[in-house]
Amino acid sequence: MIQIAKLSLGSEEKEAISHVLDSGMIANGEVVKDFETAFADYCGVSYGIATTSGTTALEVAIRAAGLGAGDKIVTTPFSFIASTNSIIYAGATPVFADIDPDTFNIDLDRLGKVLENDGEIKAVLIVHLFGRPCDMDRLQQIVDKYDVKLIEDCAQAVGTEWKGKRVGSFGAAAAFSFYPTKNMTTGEGGIVVTNDANLAEKARLLINHGMKVRYYHDIVGYNYRMTNIAAAIGLCQLKKLPEMNRKRFENAKYYCENIKNPIIKVPGLIEGHSYHQFTLQVEKGMRDAFVSLLQAEEVGFGIFYPLSIPEQNCYKDYNFNIDYPVTDEIKTKVVSIPIHPLLTADELKKVTEVINGFHS
């Protein structure tokens, strides 16, 4: 089986974990601080606050930005559910704008219309889906025009760039995920990044039960702290990240140059894309047949996401609008294929041959 995702871990991570274990300090400590500094430097921002997951990072980013009960936040209906759950965890209200059919990211024309029609909206939470950057020039113009805050969900976009500038450095705050399927991992874990000193201080309080000084609690917070073990893995992975992302881009280039099937639409070779996923669109209602072929040929795949967020059963009592025509079409077409950096030349060739051999 050619796996859809594969961990790139080696002796460096094992040695780093052993060092933490030998130190006796396995919880949150100096290794986490080192990781926070290194990751913030990588993103080109001033502050990093490491957390237990990408989801908690996103919730903390929203709360630390001063958003909460009664605030409306516009986001995408086509993403992992954490994007919307985090808004709800913070007590705010999600509002949705449909996606662009080519990028799968939030459609900026539709976003502008939503903001124009609802003056109560306080923020926009965008997702750089599958590692593809949103158009940050246009997006910045929109949030400036309507005077709303920008939160970046970079869970799938570590290393993604827009015109040479790393995502996560544009908004009031951003959140990254280090789940094992991401471009780099800490096992579980996430991080909030920002250039705002006050926001960073609030985020650090939120993840640590509201404490600056031990047992003196300034606000009601949470235990969202990363461990030294996770941070040790992260420091090793961060050093490997440029090469791992370079290999992902090479794999994407191979697919773009060699997949030649009129039924299959490839995402194209996009500058700055970190290719967390390489997501195809299968035309002519043929996705089920295509998936059956992948299964028979033992080629791993993923369907992200079969339902829009607003139509998920857990939100049935929220009375969300569930009519998003572009999302509703795209969700029936998309299939992601293996793109991870450990793919061999033979595996890339086989995946491509299987795809090119598919026909109606």
What pLDDT does 357 receive? 97
**CATH number, domain 11-236:** 3.40.640.10
Q: How far apart are CA 327 and CA 73, in angstroms?
A: 19
The yes-or-no verdict on residue 223 having pLDDT over 90 is yes
What pLDDT does 18 receive? 97
Q: What is the mean pLDDT of residues 323-343?
A: 98
Predicted confidence (pLDDT) per residue in 76-119, tens digit: 999 999 999 999 999 999 999 999 999 999 999 999 999 999 99
Where residue 360 falls among pLDDT bands split at 50, 70, 90? confident
CB-based burial of residue 271 (10 Å sphere; 0-12 exposed, 13-18 middle, 19+ buried)?
Answer: exposed
Domains 11-236 and 242-356 share a fold: no
Domain boundaries, the chain: 11-236, 242-356
Query: Which of 194, 193, 192, 224 minimizes the C-alpha distance to 208?
Result: 224
Q: What is the mean pLDDT of residues 249-274?
A: 97
Predicted confidence (pLDDT) per residue in 240-260, tens digit: 999 999 999 999 999 999 999
Predicted confidence (pLDDT) per residue in 2-44, tens digit: 999 999 999 999 999 999 999 999 999 999 999 999 999 999 9
SS3 track for the chain: CECCCCCCCCHHHHHHHHHHHHHCCCCCCHHHHHHHHHHHHHHCCCEEEEECCHHHHHHHHHHHCCCCCCCEEEECCCCCCHHHHHHHHCCCEEEECCECCCCCCECHHHHHHHHHHCCCEEEEEEECHHHCCCCHHHHHHHHHHHCCEEEEECCCCCCCEECCEECCCCCCEEEEECCCCCCCCCCCCEEEEECCHHHHHHHHHHHECCEEECCEECCCCCECECCHHHHHHHHHHHHHHHHHHHHHHHHHHHHHHHCCCCCEECCCCCCCCCCCCEEEEECCCCHHHHHHHHHHCCECCECCCCCCCCCCHHHCCCCCCCCCHHHHHHCCCEEEECCCCCCCHHHHHHHHHHHHCCCC
What pLDDT does 159 receive? 98
As a whole number, the mean pLDDT across the chain is 97
Query: Which of 2, 58, 32 minimizes the C-alpha distance to 192?
Result: 58
List Cα–Cα distances, 151 to 74, 86, 87, 94, in angstroms: 10, 12, 11, 13
What is the CATH architecture assignment of 242-356? Alpha-Beta Complex (3.90)
